[in-house]
Amino acid sequence: MRSVADLLRAEDRKAVLALATDERVRLALALGERDLESFRLAHDPPLTRDEAVRRLERQRQHGRRPCRCIEELIG
């Protein structure tokens, strides 16, 4: 038996696959911006956009072998 979540996931996947490539790219960028804004506003006080991007980059790099180039880019 399929759950409601499975059905919704299948519908979303079908809708995304029906989009043209440029529309998928626009959707991905819009979702990224939406998520960045949510992350930014979840802090008290809200972070600036640049600070939110910097924190997410640092989290992504945490635990990886240090790279001087990346360290210079993200602070």
- Please state the rounded mean pLDDT for residues 40-46: 96
Average pLDDT over every residue of 12-29: 95
At 58, the pLDDT band (50, 70, 90 cuts) reads confident
Work out the pLDDT band at 20, boundaries 50, 70, 90.
very high
Q: Are 50 and 39 in contact (CB under 8 A)?
A: no
Instruction: With cut-offs at 50, 70 and 90, classify the pLDDT of residue 75.
Output: low
DSSP string, 10-66: HHHHHHHHTS-HHHHHHHHHHHHHHHHHHHHHTSSSPPPHHHHHHHHHHHHHTTSPP
47's CB contacts (< 8 A; 6+ apart) are 39, 40, 55
